[in-house]
């Protein structure tokens, strides 16, 4: 049997603060804006909020480059605003988890400033310096090394040139990080999402990456930090010294680790992390993020079957389709507007009826789609801009823009669509990033008043999930595993049985069996007994 825990029953909601709600008209979302929308989140049925970074930052990577861990970004508000936010979240019976970015800091963090100005001080060894660069490349393009004149050395940055990798081998550094985390836990935050936490340990001596591995993804060196030699040790130390005493919840963001490593990081008796975010389901194999292609839901089915059947009961999966780093899922699967509503609901059914903790990314509950960016000037993301610069060295501009557009993280970062008025009720001023006209037909206001909306569907589905304990804790039994475009499963425990039947295609499909029991929820008002409607997703109560 699965051990119970609040976070296994919870539904999480991710907020990207810059784009959620602006309270003062400067076009940038902020903490008071979030506070003003907590009732909306609560009403949706959310149990806990994950806040993307709100710390002081020069915003080279929108807050994932932290300058001061104990200060709130000016644009977002003050520490008083944060304390109020935390109180108001708690008063509504929800939890709050922060984004913890400790693989790297901004080059403007005082630790880094001192590491370069006082190399002989204790800070001198807080980052990863080398006399000669190796062949590692940055995830955001180009070499992973900056030349640092002050030290006549090179400093490692796996992400942008302003995101300097910390040296976790240094015990003082680890202790400072522990203290900083305790400081937030003392305030009462409920846990953390740990940014690229599997990257914190690098192979000793920072050796060159293999040519053949590097070539595959154009990322050299990854085998030396995706699961580095001291990763488990650092995580256990964190858990024992910092998280455990506060009973804090942790979900690690862990790109590229695969299922077996996920188990090692989250098995309950290993004391490392509670859950991880794995990304292997976000692209159909053979495709890469910046390819313009249609995502195949049959792959999602295959992935979920594997995850549910092989993850084991001592590890708990996280479930998500969207976050601030990826284009919108509906657009990837089928951008035809006639399917938007049913497809948005189909994804909700998969997200909320399998075993695992669901994370909803802001706007997903409305079925928000990719934005109609017209030129490179419309984009803001450092990754997109770097990639464009690289591609235009050898490709014509239109083609390069198209490629960047297919995978740009900015699709997920346009303002939340609240109302049908200028700037979508996000702000009274011009937003920091453009938005197209989609808010006129897709916004919170309209969807609250439309019985058939994706938003109302999410609300009903979350409520349904709470009424049926079989969803977080029961068995998952798949049928029709080899039948293309049909995804069917039972959820079963000693008390009840639910049956979920999903048509993964935009064509009618013959049902595998006659419906039985009571239909609890469906993305179609009217269904047929013989055929599934395009992208139909229905939940039945059999017992």
The site partner of 277 among Ca ion, ligand TEU, none (C-beta below 5 to 8 Å per kind) is none
Among 13, 14, 16, 22, interactor with Ca ion by CB under 5 A: 22
Task: With beta carbons less than 8 A apart as the criterion, state whether 498 and 520 touch.
Answer: yes
| Residue 286: partners with Cβ closer than 8 Å, 6 or more residues away | none
255 contacts which partner out of ligand TEU, Ca ion, none, CB within 5 to 8 A by kind? ligand TEU
Residue from 10, 11, 15, 28 binding Ca ion (CB under 5 A) = 28
Closest contact distance (angstroms) between CB of 199 and ligand TEU is: 8
Q: Is 143 in the site for Ca ion (CB under 5 A)?
A: no
Cα 363 to chain centroid distance, Å, stands at 13
Q: Which is nearer to Ca ion, 22 or 47 (CB)?
A: 22
Which residue's CB atom is positioned nearest to Ca ion?
30
Nearest to ligand TEU of 47, 383 (CB atom): 383
Catalytic residue among 47, 195, 283, 536: 195
Nearer to ligand TEU, 289 or 466 (CB): 289
Q: Which residue is nearest to ligand TEU (CB)?
A: 64
Q: Which residues bind ligand TEU (CB under 6 A)?
A: 61, 64, 101, 139, 159, 195-196, 253, 255, 289, 324-325, 383, 409
Is 450 catalytic? The answer is: no
**Binding-site partner at residue 195 among Ca ion, ligand TEU, none, CB < 5 to 8 Å by type:** ligand TEU
Q: Residue 307, Cβ neighbours under 10 Å: how many?
A: 21
- Asked if 253 is an active-site residue, the reply is yes
Task: Tell me which of ligand TEU, Ca ion, none is bound by residue 188, counting a contact when its beta carbon lies within the kind-specific cut-off of 5 to 8 angstroms.
Answer: none
Tell me if 30 contacts Ca ion by CB under 5 A: yes
∠ CA 46-48-54, nearest 5°, is: 120
CB 256 within 8 A of CB 199: no
Pick what 30 binds: ligand TEU, Ca ion, none; C-beta below 5 to 8 Å, kind-dependent: Ca ion
Q: Which two tokens stand for residue 105?
A: 């800091």
Cα–Cα distance measured from residue 471 to residue 38, given in angstroms and rounded to the nearest whole number: 26
Which residues lie below 8 Å from residue 120, measured CB to CB, with a gap of 6+?
Answer: none
The CA angle 334-405-20, to the nearest 5 degrees, is 85
Shortest separation between residue 54's beta carbon and Ca ion, angstroms: 12
Number of residues counted as binding Ca ion (CB under 5 A): 5
Three-state SS at 268: helix
Nearer to ligand TEU, 37 or 162 (CB): 162
Task: Return the number of the residue (24 or 505) whose C-beta is nearest Ca ion.
Answer: 24
22 binds, among ligand TEU, Ca ion, none (CB under 5 to 8 A by kind): Ca ion
What secondary structure letter does DSSP report for 189?
Answer: -
Q: Would you state the structure tokens that stand for residue 460, as one six-digit string? A: 């009903």
| Ramachandran class of 96: left when φ > 0, alpha when ψ lies in -120 to 50, beta otherwise | beta
Rounded to an integer, what distance in angstroms lies between the CA atom of residue 501 and that of residue 512? 9
End-to-end alpha carbon distance in the chain: 20
Q: Residue 249 belongs to what H/E stretch?
A: strand 249-253
Positions in the binding site for Ca ion (CB under 5 A): 22, 24, 26, 28, 30
Active-site residues, by number, are 195, 253
């Amino acid at each position: 049997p699965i051990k119970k825990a609040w976070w296994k029953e919870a539904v999480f909601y991710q907020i990207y603060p810059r784009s959620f709600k602006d309270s003062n008209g400067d076009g940038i979302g902020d903490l008071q804006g979030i506070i003003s929308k907590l009732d909306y989140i609560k009403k949706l049925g959310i149990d806990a909020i994950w806040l993307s970074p709100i710390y002081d930052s020069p915003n080279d990577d929108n807050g994932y480059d932290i300058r001061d861990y104990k200060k709130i970004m000016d644009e977002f508000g003050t520490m008083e605003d944060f304390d109020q936010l935390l109180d108001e979240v708690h008063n509504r019976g929800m939890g709050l988890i922060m984004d913890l970015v400790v693989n790297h800091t901004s080059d403007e963090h005082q630790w880094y400033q001192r590491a370069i100005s006082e190399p002989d001080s204790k800070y001198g060894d807080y980052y990863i310096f080398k006399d000669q660069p190796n062949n590692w490349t940055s995830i955001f393009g180009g070499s992973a090394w900056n030349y640092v004149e002050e030290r006549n050395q090179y400093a490692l940055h796996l992400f942008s040139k302003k995101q300097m990798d910390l040296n976790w081998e240094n015990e003082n550094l680890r202790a400072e990080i522990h203290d900083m985390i305790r400081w937030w836990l003392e305030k009462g935050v409920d846990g953390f999402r740990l940014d690229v936490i599997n990257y914190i340990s690098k192979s000793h001596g920072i050796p060159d990456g293999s040519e053949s591995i590097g070539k595959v993804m154009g990322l050299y060196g990854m085998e030396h930090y995706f699961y580095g030699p001291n990763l488990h040790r650092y995580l256990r130390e964190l858990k024992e010294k910092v998280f455990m005493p506060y009973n804090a919840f942790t979900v690690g963001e862990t790109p590229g680790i695969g299922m077996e490593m996920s188990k090692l990081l989250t098995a309950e008796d290993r004391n490392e992390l509670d859950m991880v975010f794995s990304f292997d389901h976000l692209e159909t194999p053979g495709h890469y993020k910046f390819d313009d292609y249609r995502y195949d839901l049959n792959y999602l089915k295959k992935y979920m079957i594997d995850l549910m059947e092989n993850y084991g009961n001592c590890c708990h999966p996280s479930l998500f389709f969207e976050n601030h780093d990826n284009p919108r899922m509906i657009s990837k699967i089928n951008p035809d507007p006639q399917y938007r509503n049913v497809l948005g609901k189909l994804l909700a059914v998969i997200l909320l009826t399998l075993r695992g903790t669901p994370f909803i990314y802001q706007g997903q509950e409305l079925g928000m789609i990719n934005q109609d960016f017209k030129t490179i000037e419309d984009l803001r993301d450092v990754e997109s801009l770097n990639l464009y610069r690289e591609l235009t060295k050898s490709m014509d501009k239109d083609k390069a823009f198209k490629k960047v557009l297919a995978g740009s993280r900015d699709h997920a970062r346009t303002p939340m669509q609240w109302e049908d008025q200028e700037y979508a009720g996000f702000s009274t001023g011009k937003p920091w990033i453009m938005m197209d006209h989609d808010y006129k037909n897709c916004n919170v206001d309209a969807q609250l008043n439309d019985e058939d909306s994706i938003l109302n569907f999410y609300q009903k589905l979350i409520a349904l999930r709470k009424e049926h304990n079989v969803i977080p804790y029961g068995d998952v039994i798949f049928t029709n595993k080899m039948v293309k475009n049909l995804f069917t499963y039972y959820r079963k425990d000693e008390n009840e049985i639910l049956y979920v039947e999903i048509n993964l295609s935009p064509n009618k499909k013959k049902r595998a069996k006659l419906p039985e029991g009571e239909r609890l929820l469906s993305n179609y008002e009217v269904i047929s007994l013989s055929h599934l409607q395009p992208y139909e997703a229905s939940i039945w109560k059999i017992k």
